[in-house]
Every structure is written in structure tokens, then in C-alpha cells.
Amino acid sequence: MVDREKVSFSVETINKIHGLPNDEVEAYLGHQLINAPTQGFARIMLKKIVWLDAEWKKIPMGRLQLYPHQLTTESNVWLFFIKKKILPTRHDSAMPFDYAMLLYSILMKQAFNLGYLMQGALFA
């Protein structure tokens, strides 16, 4: 509740607030990368967001153990924006897999469903 008013946190409402389309299939062709990634895709994605010799590991709860010095300069800038403006998070050395996928989608200029990601963060 906000000022005694019920507020919907549905994907559709979030997208409407941000002026984004709700048609997931046609408007968000890159969204499947975030929604249902494959193991092979994770390696491809990491090659784009980390430096060539960076080592990473997957830790429990779907998180990647990545540090800022392992990310490319462009990835670091976008990750800062994601953490401050899109999906606020506490300072943590482990990066959620969703953040890595979002980062990859931004760098590859692939559309994704922002409402879906924000709703997931709100209810996590």
C-alpha cells in the first residue's frame, strides 16, 4: 500500500509506468536469454562481459562470483547503472545471474522485458 492505495506490481503495470510494450514474444526477442538461459549460453555471455583471462565461479542460489575488476570497462559502467537505477541492490561481491543476463542483453542491444525483471526483484 502507498498512501492507503493498493498498488499493483504486475509486469503489465511496471511496463505501463515506464511506457514499455507488454508483448513479450514480439517486442522482447532477447528476453528468452534472461527467462530461460542454457548452460552453454552462460559461457558465451560471460565472454562478452568479463575480461579474457577472468576467472569466475557459480555459487549457491544462482549467483556468479564476479568482481568489478573482472568486468570490462563497459560492463562495469552498465552494472553501476543497473544496480543504482534499474534493480537496486546492496553492495555485494557476488552478482546475481539475472544481472549478468541483463548486462549481456544491454551490451548486445537485445530487447528484454524490464517489467518482468523488476517484478522478480520486488518479490525476491
> CA torsion, points 77, 78, 80, 83, in degrees to nearest 10?
180
pTM over 0.75: no
Query: What digits encode the pLDDT tens for the residues 41-91?
Result: 777 888 888 898 887 777 776 667 777 788 999 999 998 888 888 877 766
Of the pLDDT bands very low, low, confident and very high (cuts 50, 70, 90), residue 102 is confident
What integer pLDDT is reported at residue 28 of this predicted model? 55
What interhelical angle do 114-122 and 97-107 show, nearest 10?
A: 160
Domain positions in the chain are 29-111
CB 50 within 8 A of CB 71: yes
CA 78 – CA 87 distance, rounded (Å): 12
